[in-house]
Every structure is written in C-alpha cells, then in structure tokens.
Homo-oligomer: A and B are copies of this chain.
Amino acid sequence: MIRVGVVGATGYTGAELLRLLAGHPQACIEVVTSRTESGRRVADVYPNLRGRLDLAYSDVEPRSLARCEVVFFATPNGTAMQHAPALLGAGVRVIDLAADFRLRDAAQWAHWYGMAHACPQLLAEAVYGLPELHREAIRGARLVANPGCYPTAVALGLLPLVEAGVLAPGPLIADAKSGVSGAGRTARQSLLYAEVTDSFKAYNVFAHRHHPEIVQTLAGVASDPPQLVFVPHLVPMLRGIHATLYARVRDDAADLQALYAERFACEPFVQVLEPGAHPETREVRASNDCRIAVHRQGPQVVVLAVIDNLVKGAAGQAVQNMNLMFGLAETSGLAAPGALP
C-alpha cells in the first residue's frame, strides 16, 4: 500500500481526492491536513466519507508528510512551492493540484499569479501531468504539476489537430463552461446559491489564468505557436466542464474523426464519440472520463469535450498520475462508472 498524504483537504478538490483514495485498492491515506479544520474529523466536514475514512485533519507537519511516499497538495496557489523542495529532498514524491508548477517560465508565473515563485529551480523538472501527452515523463517524475480543469478539457480537445499540423491560420477559440464546484468552497457572495442558480454568465474574458497554461501545452506540440481565445463561463450545476472548441483546418486535412479516434485509441480515459454526437457533462459525472465529439463543415471544425472538473479536471487525474508514478494499473481506483441520473 502506498502511503499517501493530502495537504489542504477541506476544499472540493481535496475532498474529491479523499473520496477516490478511500476506495483505491493500493493507497492508504496516512495524513490529511487543513489549516482551518485541524482537529476535526474528516467525516464531520465531508459526511459522505463517514465510515470510509477514519481520520482527523492535522496541521501541516513536515515530519508526518516526510513519512509518506507521495504527498498531494490540494491547496491554494502558492502553498505547494513552499513545501515541495523539502519533501522532494526527503524522497517524497509530490503532486500539486494547484498551479505552482504548471508554467515553465517563472516570470510568466509571477505575472499571472501575483507573487514571486519560491522555487523556480524546480520548474524545469516538474512534469505537466497530462498523461495523454506526457505519460512516460510522469512515470519517472518526482514532481507532477496536475493540470487545471479547463486546460485539461481544452487541451484534450485540441491536441489531435495541433499535433497533426492540419490547422489553417487564425485563432483557436475555446468557449468553456464550468460547474460551480470549480470555484471552490470559500464563502464568497458571488458564489451563493441565490446568486448563481437559474443564471448564466461569462467571466474573466481575456484574463483567465488558464490561458497561458493552455497555450504552453499546445505550443509544446505545434510547429507555430497557436493563437488562443479563451472565454470561461459559469453554469448553474455542481460538476462538469464543457469545452466548445472552434478551429479551421487546411483544405487538405484528412478525416478528422479517424484522426481523433487513432490519437486516443489506447487512452483508458478518453473516448471519441461517434460522428454527430453531443456529449453531456452528466455522462462523466464523478468519473475520470473525457468524452470528445468532432464536427466538421468544410474547413470549420467544432470539437465538443466534456469532463468532470473535480475528477479528470483535478483529483482523478492526480490519482491517474500517482498510478503512473508508482507503476500501478493506470485505472486503479478510477474504474467506477459515473452516476447518472
């Protein structure tokens, strides 16, 4: 059993990680920390875990964490980078679900996240944990930067086009929609039920932190750096991201359905749907799946991609990365079907 620590497990991402790890056949949760809930039983904060996880939150203690084989950080941005060097030094592997190690450029990171990076020397070593792109590197990684929720859906939906080099000039457009759990559990007026329900809005047009992350991923596989327009929206639902992706391909671009099917043929968590399909976010609710449909009309392509923001967009992908890092079956602990209805 792999000894696991989870730092910052009071947010939704951390709680989802505990839900998945509690049912993982080869992982054992040793330490769960929280600044705000230290001393409380986890099951009192997340009652769905009652009878499944008999632990209390503790303060962050480096010695306890150092006894783990892997530590997940489900903390606000800027926390994991404070602890990662020491843990890595102690031989502990680190998976950060926040953004601390996602951008390779420390100056760019500082610009978008509003603080200097605490350990820029680790940025080159950190592996961006998108298994569909960096599987081999993840297997050998000490430090994994778990991708953001939007970047996972957008990158998976666009990678085949970018990698194949079939795009015509012009911007890629990612119109993305997320359920409210993506905004976290901190009490904010704008996230109250009575503010969010029965309404729909865009936010952070041209100004979302996931923009540089997506661009970095796509640029890594493109001959020319892609131009991306990214607009996120808030949907009155709990879980789910739906990315509607607009691109134009060259006239000689071959069969895109086949392109996508082949690209993801061996992926355990990505399913390319039949032509004409329209995936719904509820299909992947509480599961680690990503479902993709490809629509084309002449040069115009519309790709639809759905994930559960808390699973493939966060905690599930983190477990997938752990499985790879420790040589386990990639689907271990992640096989349960989604809950529908």
Contact = CB atoms under 8 A, between A and B. Distances in A.
Interface string A137-180: 00000000000000000000000000000000011010101011
A287 interface: yes
Interface residues of A, number: 82
Contacts of A242: 200-202, 233
Contacts of A189: 185-187
- In the complex, the count of this chain's copies comes to 4
A18 to B, nearest CB: 9
Contacts of A336: 23, 336
Interface string A33-69: 0000000000000111111110000000000000000
Q: In the complex, which of the residues A46, A181, A183, A202 has the most CB atoms of chain B within 10 Å of its own CB atom?
A: A202
A12 B194 contact: yes
A238 B284 contact: no
Interface string A215-242: 0000000000000010101011111101
B50 A194 contact: no
Interface stretch (A81-89, A128-136, A294-302): A294-302
Contacts of A53: 337
Contacts of A306: 200-201
A302 B206 contact: yes
A12 to B, nearest CB: 6
Contacts of A127: none
A3 interface: no
A280 interface: yes
A263 interface: no
Interface in A9-37: 12, 15, 19, 22-23
A327 interface: no
A329 interface: no
A19 B200 contact: no
A246 interface: yes
Nearest to A192: B191
B337 A23 contact: yes
B201 A197 contact: no
A239 B236 CA distance: 12
A340 interface: yes
A101 to B, nearest CB: 26
A271 interface: yes
Contact of A193 (B19, B191, B340): B191
Contact of A300 (B171, B188, B201, B279): B171
A170 B248 CA distance: 10
A67 to B, nearest CB: 25
Nearest first, the 7 A-B pairs at minimum CB distance are A199-B282, A48-B338, A48-B340, A201-B280, A193-B196, A47-B283, A175-B175
Given A170-B170, A200-B280, 5 more contacts: A47-B280, A51-B289, A52-B335, A201-B280, A229-B300
6 contacts: A48-B339, A170-B170, A197-B197, A199-B240, A202-B242, A231-B244
